[in-house]
A and B are shown apart, each in its own frame.
Chain A
Amino acid sequence: MFRRSRSSQSVRMHNPQLERRLIRNRMSLALVLASLMLAGLGLRLYELQVQRHDHFVTLSQDNRVRLRPLPPPRGLIFDRNGILLAENLPSFRLEIVPEDVPDLPQTLDQLSRLIEITPKDRQRFERERKRSRPFDALALRYRLTDEEVARLAIDRFQFPGVDVRADLTRHYPFGASTAQVIGYVGAVDERDLRNAAEGTYAGLTEAGRNGVERSYETELRGVTGYEQVEVNAQGRTIRVLESHPPTAGQNLYLSLDIRLQQATEAALGGNRGAIVAIAPNSGEILALVSEPSFDANVFVGGIDGDSYRALNTDPGHPLFNRAILGQYPPGSTVKPLLGVADLASGQPLGAGGIYCPGYVKLPNIERRYRDWKHSGHGHTDLHHAIMQSCDVYFYQLGLELGIDRLHDTLTAFGLGRTTGVDLPGERAGLVPSKAWKQRVRKQSWYIGETLVNAIGQGYNLATPLQLAQAAATLARRGQVLQPRMVRAREDMASGQYVPLTPVPGTPVPFGTPGQWETVIDAMHAVVQSPGGTAYGSGRGAPYAYAGKTGTAQVYGLGSEEEYVQENVAPELRDHALFLGFAPQHDPAIAVGVVVEHGGSGGHTAAPIARQVLDAYLLREAAP
């Protein structure tokens, strides 16, 4: 029983009598404390049950009063010209309060004889019943037809706890055209509930799931109101006593131009790919297209499993928003960006030009780094290197600058990091550096990789939105504005129209005005001078504009192999890319185009971009 313990210098021993007395004293103390608390509770109960008894009796007798949440109408969404893109249509739904139903399975059977209740409806109802409290109203059916509403109205007295409620259903008039931008609404789930204050979703069945519906959920949702209603013993409403109306959700005005959006969709002409168009002077996104798309309306009120599976397993991945989630090698579209850095470096290659024999050979490396033009471009300066997309020039530039300065240059234009657009889930792309390779691949950097990365291949990845943002940054001559989808919101309560001001970013830290113009002149030559890689697409345009093509390898070729499009399977063909802006001086629109497996940028992406520019500029010019 006796144990030595050495907690301090002195040796302590158990002294049972002392310990016993100590514990007993403390027990008495604690008991007194607990008794005091109990007495406090007793006083509280006395206060409630004796002193304020009459007050509560009145309340209890009047307690035929229930609180019923009044859901706010969700904010509407318009395009930049006030055309409605998301609206609320009136509809009816069938609600059940499980606690008030005497025999639920029997009631469900009887109801299914009156109206159509699919096994899926029942499954969803059962699933939600497990998650909710028995006194919560749950929807069994949405979007009842007028005939069903009438049939239920006749027999309603037979079904305690069953109610038909007027409802608003989200509808997207432009369907697939706006699905990637606006997203859709879906049933409120546990995550929504966890992330919001208690009661936020009372009476609401849907929450924003994607796109603007998701990123502006708080603004669109509004604030739930409630009414006090008198009910009879079955819980049926007799009259409304007091009403605190809900605050409607705010209306949103997108920067999107729906007519340009549709023209852009048409320009893609059934190809898989994505196009983003930005107004350089404000950062506003005029069009954001990802093809193929899907009709967002099928998600409203819950999509059934089969349709969802079909969308999910579609080889075209219609649910995947390529414009902000798709990451593609930017290829030669990085050349004008690097061109600015070349001129600003103090010792530009462009000053004297280089000689292009059609390949670059590094000492001690077997492989030849080839130009796309095997015969070579001959003597080449920066202007021609951009215009004809000379790879050798940029191989040399890459060696000159080194991988880390390539990284810094591309990062300054917004590649390799998210643009901060107000859409959920945007990907960052990738711009490699020595530190990145060491950290992620645990390998040191090879000089050959610098060459490949200098023409936008290798590890480089960019989203179509980033390409458009880089084009807009070029158009702004180095100034940076965050791209954004929403340009204003309208507070319904105060009737205030609140424009959202553009958010500036860090400007590109190099390049004099003259150097910018040199590069942009070269980009102008790409589309509108004979010999430019996209001269075919820019010919005859009534405005001067600037662009750069890109062709991104999907399929790795050996150094001596020839790329012949006809010999390569469609899913291994190169991606076709283009970035550009128009007009050249005083730009109104900047675009980034990616056509998946489209072949060459000059042949596929550049003509598509021209159509988009025409659609915007020529229409704007017209009265």
Chain B
Amino acid sequence: MNRPIYELGAGMRSPLRDWPTRLHMDLLLLVCLGLLSAVGLMILYSAGGEQMELLERQCLRLAMAFLVMLAIAQIPSDWLHRIAPVLYGVGLILLVLVMGLGDIGKGAQRWLDLGVVRFQPSEIMKLAMPLMTARYLHDRGLPPQRWDVPIVLLLIVGPTLLIAEQPDLGTAVLVMVSGLAVLFLGGLSWRWIVLFLGGLGAALPLMWTLMHDYQRQRVLTLLNPEADPLGSGYHIIQSKIALGSGGLFGKGWLNGSQAHLQFLPERTTDFIFAVYGEEFGLIGLILLLALYFAVAVRGLQIAAQAQNSFERLLAASLSFTFLFYVLVNTGMVSGLLPVVGVPLPLVSYGGTSMVTLLAAFGMLMSIQTHKKMLAP
């Protein structure tokens, strides 16, 4: 167990750390996230009909989210291990509470009013889920054996069902994926994986019968958007026109007619990717996706260099979930996936989800910059 200290962490060529590390920041992540936010603000200005007011509010939100990220980065990473069960427990209790006395916002029961602030307990779960599952697997030792898998599945399924009941299908899927990612990365045996996929294939017809009418409608609309031009089909038809007419190089900033003539619904929120695609074309989209990919890869790099299995699993799960976010939103906008309410990270307007998202990156930075001088 004697490992030389110089093998620890990138950017740590000498025991004397450089300045970003001393401030517990990861420079590469910070730069990439900053770039993404800047691109987001630029496209929001265009999508929102060049309103400064919209932009100001988004800036305020971003500033707050970045502060939260930097604050969380200051927390030593072994604390994360300690608070995992607490956060998970609190999240679970709040989810149950919100079922009982939640505010009804937009027809769905997902907000909890604490007098001062209103927030969605499902946001806590986005962080608590990977924390808890990573801690459990780490404590039990890898790969998971015997009863470990069913227990972790139970940890995942409970909150997922509670969130899906609200109903908030998008968040439920994200929370579930962050837990399943930990399980997969933690060395889930192939037997289980085959069993899962087989079970999923068998459960699909059953799920179809259990789905809400509106959810079924969305799946059907995906297959044939023209069949429902008054409902969600309209979104897909218009966003495909926006993307397609953008072409290779795009129509140029502030020149997208789909968005500016207001054919594209939800153009500042869930469908902002289509506005970007119309104005900056395929080249622009590839650059944007590359930026997202770079963030995820940097996260995975941090995971690879982390000092124990808990941190590795946590960092990797957060990175993959981030990428999953992007894939679901872009898949939805380009008509590959059903319309579920998932925003494009850092670019879509609004959302309490932005704070949660950057809090996750704060945890990644904490993992990267709070290493002990001795190998585990």
Chain A residues proximal to chain B, CB less than 8 Å: 1, 3, 5, 7-8, 12-16, 18-20, 22-24, 26-27, 30-31, 34, 37-38, 40-42, 44-46, 48-50, 52-53, 55-57, 59-61, 63-64, 66-67, 69, 99-100, 133, 135, 190, 193-194, 196-199, 202, 224, 226, 233, 235
Q: Which residues of A contact B89 (CB under 8 A)?
A: none
Contact, CB under 8 Å: A5 / B246: no
Q: Which residues of A contact B262 (CB under 8 A)?
A: 99-100, 135, 235
Q: A20-B309, A30-B184, A64-B261 are in contact. List 6 more A-B contacts (CB 8 A).
A: A5-B141, A53-B244, A59-B241, A198-B228, A198-B231, A202-B231
Contact, CB under 8 Å: A49 / B246: yes
Q: Which residues of A contact B266 (CB under 8 A)?
A: 133
Q: Which of A1, A37, A56, A60 has the largest count of B CB atoms less than 10 A from its CB?
A: A60
Q: Which residues of B contact A49 (CB under 8 A)?
A: 243-244, 246-248, 277, 281-282, 285
Interface residues on B, range: 35 or more
Contact, CB under 8 Å: B257 / A12: no
Q: Which residues of A contact B277 (CB under 8 A)?
A: 45, 49
Contact, CB under 8 Å: B285 / A63: no
Contact, CB under 8 Å: B245 / A59: yes
Q: Which residues of A contact B148 (CB under 8 A)?
A: 7
Which residue in chain B gives the minimum CB-CB distance to A31? B300
Contact, CB under 8 Å: B312 / A48: no
Contact, CB under 8 Å: A23 / B282: no
Which residue in chain B gives the minimum CB-CB distance to A56? B244
Contact, CB under 8 Å: B303 / A27: yes
Residue B140, interface by CB 8 Å: yes
Cα A12 to Cα B142 with chains together (Å): 9
Q: Which residues of B contact A40 (CB under 8 A)?
A: 336
Contact, CB under 8 Å: B323 / A34: yes
Contact, CB under 8 Å: B217 / A23: no
Which of the residues B232, B245, B265, B293 comes within 8 Å of A57, measured between beta carbons? B245
Contact, CB under 8 Å: A38 / B217: no
Q: Which residues of B contact A13 (CB under 8 A)?
A: 141
Q: Which residues of B contact A5 (CB under 8 A)?
A: 139-141
Contact, CB under 8 Å: A63 / B289: no
- Among residues 201 to 258 in chain B, which have CB atoms less than 8 Å away from a CB atom of chain A? 213-214, 217, 228-232, 234, 238, 240-248, 257-258
- Among residues 355 to 373 in chain B, which have CB atoms less than 8 Å away from a CB atom of chain A? none
Instruction: Report if A26-B312 is in contact (Cβ < 8 Å); known contacts: A1-B376, A67-B234.
Output: no
Residue-wise, chain B 131-145 has the 8 Å CB interface mask toward A (1 for contact) of 000000001111101
Sort A-B residue pairs by CB-CB distance and give the 3 closest, nearest first. A56-B244, A60-B245, A198-B231
Instruction: Report if A41-B331 is in contact (Cβ < 8 Å); known contacts: A12-B145, A20-B309, A52-B244.
Output: yes
Contact, CB under 8 Å: B217 / A198: yes
Residue-wise, chain B 263-280 has the 8 Å CB interface mask toward A (1 for contact) of 101100000000001000
User: Can you list 9 contacts pairing A with B, beta carbon distance less than 8 Å?
Assistant: A5-B139, A14-B141, A14-B309, A38-B327, A53-B248, A56-B241, A60-B241, A100-B262, A198-B217
Which of the residues B247, B335, B376 comes within 8 Å of A53, measured between beta carbons? B247
Instruction: Report if A233-B143 is in contact (Cβ < 8 Å); known contacts: A23-B309, A49-B281, A198-B214.
Output: no
Contact, CB under 8 Å: B245 / A53: yes
Cα A197 to Cα B320 with chains together (Å): 35
Residue B286, interface by CB 8 Å: yes
Contact, CB under 8 Å: B244 / A57: yes
Which residue in chain A gives the minimum CB-CB distance to B140? A5
Which of the residues B185, B242, B296, B376 comes within 8 Å of A34, measured between beta carbons? B296
Q: Which residues of A contact B308 (CB under 8 A)?
A: 16
Cα A15 to Cα B229 with chains together (Å): 57
Nearest Cβ in chain B — how far from A58, in angstroms?
A: 8
Nearest Cβ in chain B — how far from A189, in angstroms?
A: 10
Q: Which residues of B contact A38 (CB under 8 A)?
A: 289, 293, 323, 327
Contact, CB under 8 Å: A27 / B300: yes
Which of the residues A22, A63, A135 comes within 8 Å of B257, measured between beta carbons? A63
Which of the residues A8, A14, A37, A193 comes within 8 Å of B146, measured between beta carbons? A8
Q: Which residues of A contact B320 (CB under 8 A)?
A: 30, 34
Nearest Cβ in chain A — how far from B364, in angstroms?
A: 14
Cα A23 to Cα B141 with chains together (Å): 12
Q: Which of A3, A40, A59 has the largest count of B CB atoms less than 10 A from its CB?
A: A59
Residue B334, interface by CB 8 Å: yes
Cα A541 to Cα B334 with chains together (Å): 79
Contact, CB under 8 Å: A63 / B261: yes
Which residue in chain A gives the minimum CB-CB distance to B336? A44
Contact, CB under 8 Å: B229 / A67: yes
Nearest Cβ in chain A — how far from B104, in angstroms?
A: 9
Which residue in chain B gives the minimum CB-CB distance to A198? B231
Nearest Cβ in chain A — how far from B310, in angstroms?
A: 10
Residue B186, interface by CB 8 Å: yes
Residue B346, interface by CB 8 Å: no
Which of the residues A8, A55, A199 comes within 8 Å of B228, measured between beta carbons? A199
Q: Which residues of B contact A23 (CB under 8 A)?
A: 142, 185-187, 303, 309, 312-313, 316
Contact, CB under 8 Å: A67 / B143: no
Nearest Cβ in chain B — how far from A419, in angstroms?
A: 30
Contact, CB under 8 Å: B327 / A26: no
Contact, CB under 8 Å: B334 / A45: yes
Q: Which residues of B contact A224 (CB under 8 A)?
A: 230
Q: Which residues of B contact A67 (CB under 8 A)?
A: 229-230, 234
Cα A56 to Cα B238 with chains together (Å): 10
Cα A14 to Cα B247 with chains together (Å): 53
Contact, CB under 8 Å: A135 / B265: yes
Cα A99 to Cα B264 with chains together (Å): 12
Q: Which residues of B contact A34 (CB under 8 A)?
A: 296, 320, 323-324, 327
Cα A61 to Cα B257 with chains together (Å): 8
Q: Which residues of A contact B241 (CB under 8 A)?
A: 56, 59-60, 63
Q: Which of A27, A194, A202 has the largest count of B CB atoms less than 10 A from its CB?
A: A27
Which of the residues B231, B300, B309 comes within 8 Å of A19, measured between beta carbons? B309
Contact, CB under 8 Å: A199 / B230: yes
Q: Which residues of B contact A197 (CB under 8 A)?
A: 213-214, 217, 231
Q: Which residues of B contact A26 (CB under 8 A)?
A: 184-187
Which residue in chain B gives the minimum CB-CB distance to A202? B230
Which residue in chain A gives the minimum CB-CB distance to B214? A198
Cα A61 to Cα B248 with chains together (Å): 17
Contact, CB under 8 Å: A12 / B141: yes
Nearest Cβ in chain B — how far from A143, in angstroms?
A: 26
Contact, CB under 8 Å: A41 / B330: yes
Nearest Cβ in chain A — how far from B18, in angstroms?
A: 25
Cα A184 to Cα B347 with chains together (Å): 46
Residue B4, interface by CB 8 Å: no
Contact, CB under 8 Å: A133 / B265: yes
Contact, CB under 8 Å: A41 / B327: yes
Cα A217 to Cα B311 with chains together (Å): 57
Nearest Cβ in chain B — how far from A488, in angstroms?
A: 29
Cα A50 to Cα B286 with chains together (Å): 13
